[in-house]
Amino acid sequence: MIRVLVPFDFSSTAQHALNFATSLTEVYHEVELSVIHVVETPVTTGMGTMGGGLEAIPDIQNQIFYMELVETRKRQFKELEERYADSKFKFRTKLVLGNVFRGISNAIQDEEPDLVIMGSKGTSGFEEVLVGSNTEKVVRNASCPVITIKAETPISSMKKIVFASDFRESNDEVASRIKRMQAIFDAEFYFVAINTPGNFETTRESMERIRAFVQKYKFENIKAEIYNSLSEESGIIEFADDIDADMIAMTTHGRTGLLHLITGSIAEDVVNHSKRPVWTYKTK
């Protein structure tokens, strides 16, 4: 049994993610899909009447719209349940009121899924710096692997998968999960290290590290590659473009707060800018 959580906002990208999740039945005999939708609670704020800072201000129009939206989502979820009622996988829905990221995070904590699959539109420029996306936050914080989907992607299309890493750290859990992906997807796996001007090393040094990783964890049928680029993020995306990969896999350290603002995250940048599905897993 594999338990999959699908955050769902009724957009086309969310439907792509759900379709990818349902197609897991092609490779798993037992699949349990939990689809969660979070209705953001409307709050209008203003200065307190006694000059004591911000306080919530009732907004009748917002409240009416909110109540109608909740009822609409309930009807849409009922239609989804009816659509998948006769499927060979278990299917359930969950409607949550409140903050989107918090609602998804709580669901991950409570349900302990094996995998989160969610749609991503990506962000760029000013929006990326100031806001980011809920998808990016989930990638940074989720305790299980996350696959982000931007377009219709059937499981059967997975023929080439790139695992990008610097291969400097041995991680039994990551190696185990990559091996599991190999068993699931009938695909070629490429292990790639990105060489940049700011962190240059010889091809021999990089290749020796990849070989050591492969030998330690007894990987088979792996193609090792060294790719030169101006940055790790662009190198990963460019390499995936060059070989026409179907998915990118990588780990993230899940940095938050000031450290995240200073250093950023290669995984989150790739999730934002790659047109391909991206598999991420947070390591310690």
281 or 262, which is more confident: 281
Overall average pLDDT of the 218-240 stretch: 96
Lowest-pLDDT range of 31-35, 48-52, 97-101, 154-158:
48-52
Q: What are φ and ψ of residue 82, in 5° steps? A: -70, -35
Q: What is the pLDDT of residue 254?
A: 57
Query: Tokens for 137?
Result: 């936050």
The span from the CA of 67 to the CA of 242, in Å, is 49
Residue 196 is classified by DSSP as B
Query: Which of 186, 185, 212, 211 shows the shortest CA–CA distance to 279?
Result: 185
Tokens 């993020």 sit at which residue?
A: 233
Query: If you average pLDDT over every residue of the chain, what do you get?
Result: 85
pLDDT at 4 over 90: yes
52: enclosing H helix or E strand: none
Provide the residue count of the chain. 284
CA atoms within 13 A on the CB side of 108: 22
Q: At what angle do helices 266-273 and 232-243 cross, to 10 degrees?
A: 40
Q: What is the pLDDT of residue 235?
A: 96
pLDDT at 180 over 80: yes
The span from the CA of 196 to the CA of 198, in Å, is 5
Q: What is the pLDDT of residue 36?
A: 96
Q: What is the pLDDT of residue 265?
A: 79
Q: For the segment 24-56, what is each residue's pLDDT rounded down to a tens digit?
A: 888 888 899 999 999 988 765 444 444 444 455
pLDDT at 258 over 50: no
4 or 265, which is more confident: 4
Q: What is the pLDDT of residue 122?
A: 54
- Identify the structural domains of the chain with CATH numbers, from first to last: 2-141 (3.40.50.620), 154-282 (3.40.50.620)
User: What confidence tier does 59 reach under pLDDT thresholds 50, 70, 90?
Assistant: low
The span from the CA of 192 to the CA of 162, in Å, is 7
